[in-house]
């Protein structure tokens, strides 16, 4: 049988990971996007190579002699943060071209030319270009990219982005992480109906949030990432399904589809979400898989959900050791234990805390009678007075207190 990336969870040990991004959460360097409107093939290749070195995404390349309508259509479609334009090779005058680009919403333009002609340089800068480059590009292009990246990063940090993202990963299948995420969201909405909450299903192996919430999936996560540039109030409900007046659900991708979104799409969507929701609960599925690593560097805290059985505890130890070994702040980890009422509670809790050298953040009883008595059929709810309900409410209360303590890990 052919091996697939989704069946080889242990292989994630060998995956490259930028651990420096864990140190500052979402305010670390982000993959901005560039477009190339360049005629000279050598110049185009040199710019693309430099973009690759600084981890910027080249979203399109088109010859400068192409019809202006075709170039502007690409800009409208891909919305680059920076545009490299060989002004002398376009069919429009520099000022006319720059005016069209600015109307299309491009923040920064770098004019390029095969020679360092002062006339071309002055003309480009007067027309509104932020930078001017000529062949050979290296090493001056890296200084330009550094300045551009700093300007874009500064603009991004000035945006209002108060929402918090909590990731949830299960030690193995059956630990109840998805059930936990959905009911915690419900408890938070009961505690404070003014706060908007999203449960986002990012489980690329077994997405189940919409089933647990008894909702039709609608547009899947993959479509949401593909449409991230088109998200607006007019189409928001197509991608985010209301569960209650203050809780929305983002349905997971089609199970088994291995195509993860590009980093810039992830970054862009999460910026949307943190501006729109007070709290995002991110269901990352079971264990450490490629999907987990793609989203993990954007979370503020991570809940690891375990159960008191040998396999779950072994996988939990693997997760904690791998994360901390790769630079994830141990203080951002929240260990959750799903435990049945007939388990020797004190013995297990003490033993597990000694084993992992970590305090257990919450204990959730696996007795689900509280779910049955809390609501009607085909309607997500729980009985607040049941053992399960009390544990969920207590966990939600602790998460709210964490939030009120402030976003201590976001400072760059």
| pLDDT tens for each residue of 179-201 | 889 989 989 988 888 889 999 99
pLDDT at site 318? 92
Percent of the chain at pLDDT above 70? 77
pLDDT tens-digit series, residues 235-277: 777 888 888 888 899 888 876 666 788 887 888 888 888 888 9
Packing angle of the helix pair 94-103, 118-127 (nearest 10 deg):
40
Q: E strands along 106-204, which residues?
A: 108-113, 131-134, 164-170, 197-201
| 3-state secondary structure at position 4 | coil
Cβ pair 279, 163 in contact under 8 A? yes
| 3-state secondary structure at position 195 | coil
CA pair distance 294, 256, nearest whole angstrom = 16
Sequence-ordered list of residues with C-beta below 8 angstroms from that of 79, at least 6 positions apart, any chain: 33, 105, 106, 229
Supply the Cα-derived Rg of the chain in whole angstroms. Answer: 25
Indicate the average pLDDT of the chain: 77
Distances (CA, A) of 227 to 220, 224, 255, 315: 11, 5, 19, 35
pLDDT tens-digit series, residues 63-75: 988 888 888 888 8
Sequence-ordered list of residues with C-beta below 8 angstroms from that of 14, at least 6 positions apart, any chain: none
pLDDT at site 379? 58
Q: Do domains 28-157 and 161-404 have the same CATH topology?
A: yes
pLDDT tens-digit series, residues 125-150: 877 788 888 888 878 888 888 887 77
Structure-token match 């006339």, residue found: 119
State the pLDDT confidence band at 158, using cuts at 50, 70 and 90. low
- DSSP letter, residue 358: S
Cβ pair 369, 331 in contact under 8 A? no
Q: Residue 151: exposed, middle, or buried by beta-carbon count in 10 A (0-12, 13-18, 19+)?
A: middle
Mean pLDDT of 24-53: 75
Cβ pair 49, 286 in contact under 8 A? no
pLDDT at site 18? 44
Strands 57-62 and 333-339: unpaired
What residue ranges do the domains of the chain occupy? 28-157, 161-404
CATH superfamily of 161-404: P-loop containing nucleotide triphosphate hydrolases (3.40.50.300)
Residue 294, Cβ neighbours under 10 Å: how many? 18
Q: Residue 194: exposed, middle, or buried by beta-carbon count in 10 A (0-12, 13-18, 19+)?
A: exposed
CA pair distance 239, 174, nearest whole angstrom = 27
CA pair distance 59, 75, nearest whole angstrom = 9
CATH 3.40.50.2300 fits 28-157, yes or no: yes
Packing angle of the helix pair 41-53, 140-157 (nearest 10 deg):
50
CA pair distance 271, 194, nearest whole angstrom = 21
Mean pLDDT of 370-388: 62
Give the sign of the dihedral formed by CA 234, CA 235, CA 239, CA 242.
positive
pLDDT at site 170? 92
**Least confident window among 23-37, 95-109, 322-336, 343-357:** 23-37
Give the sign of the dihedral formed by CA 56, CA 61, CA 64, CA 66.
negative
Helix and strand numbers (H, E) in the chain are 15, 13
Nearest to 175 by CA among 199, 208, 204: 208
């Amino acid at each position: 049988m052919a091996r697939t990336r989704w069946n080889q969870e242990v292989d994630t040990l060998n995956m490259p990971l930028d651990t420096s991004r864990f140190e500052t959460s979402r305010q670390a360097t982000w993959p901005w996007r560039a477009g190339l409107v360049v005629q000279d093939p050598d110049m185009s290749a040199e710019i693309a190579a430099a973009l690759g070195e600084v981890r910027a995404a080249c979203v399109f390349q088109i010859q400068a002699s192409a019809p202006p309508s075709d170039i502007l259509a690409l800009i409208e479609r891909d919305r680059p943060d920076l545009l490299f334009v060989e002004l002398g090779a376009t069919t429009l005058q520099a000022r006319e071209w720059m005016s069209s680009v600015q109307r299309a919403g491009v923040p920064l333009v770098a004019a390029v030319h095969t020679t360092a002609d002062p006339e071309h340089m002055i003309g480009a800068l007067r027309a509104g270009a932020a930078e001017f480059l000529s062949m050979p590009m290296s090493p001056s292009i890296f200084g330009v990219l550094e300045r551009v990246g700093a300007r874009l990063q500064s603009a991004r940090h000035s945006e209002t982005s108060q929402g918090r993202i909590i990731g949830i990963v299960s030690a193995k299948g059956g630990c109840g992480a998805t059930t936990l995420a959905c009911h915690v969201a419900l408890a938070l909405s009961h505690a404070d109906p003014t706060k908007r909450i999203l449960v986002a299903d990012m489980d690329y192996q077994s997405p189940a949030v919409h089933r647990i919430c008894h909702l039709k999936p609608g547009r899947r996560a993959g479509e949401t990432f593909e449409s991230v540039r088109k998200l607006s109030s007019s189409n928001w409900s197509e991608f985010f399904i209301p569960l209650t007046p203050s809780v929305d659900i983002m349905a997971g991708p089609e199970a088994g589809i291995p195509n993860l979104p590009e980093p810039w799409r992830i970054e862009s969507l999460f910026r949307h979400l943190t501006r729109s929701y007070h709290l995002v609960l991110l269901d990352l599925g079971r264990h450490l898989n490629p999907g987990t690593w793609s989203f993990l560097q954007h979370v503020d805290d991570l809940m690891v959900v375990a159960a008191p059985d040998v396999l779950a505890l072994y996988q939990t130890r693997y997760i904690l050791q791998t994360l901390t070994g790769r630079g994830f702040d141990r203080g951002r980890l929240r260990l959750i234990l799903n435990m049945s009422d007939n388990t020797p509670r004190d013995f297990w809790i003490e033993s597990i805390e000694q084993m992992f050298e970590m305090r257990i953040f919450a204990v959730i009883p696996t007795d689900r009678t509280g779910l049955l008595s809390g609501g009607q059929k085909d309607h997500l709810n729980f009985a607040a007075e049941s053992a399960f309900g009390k544990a969920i409410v207590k966990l939600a209360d602790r998460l709210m207190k964490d939030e009120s303590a402030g976003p201590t890990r976001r400072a760059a």
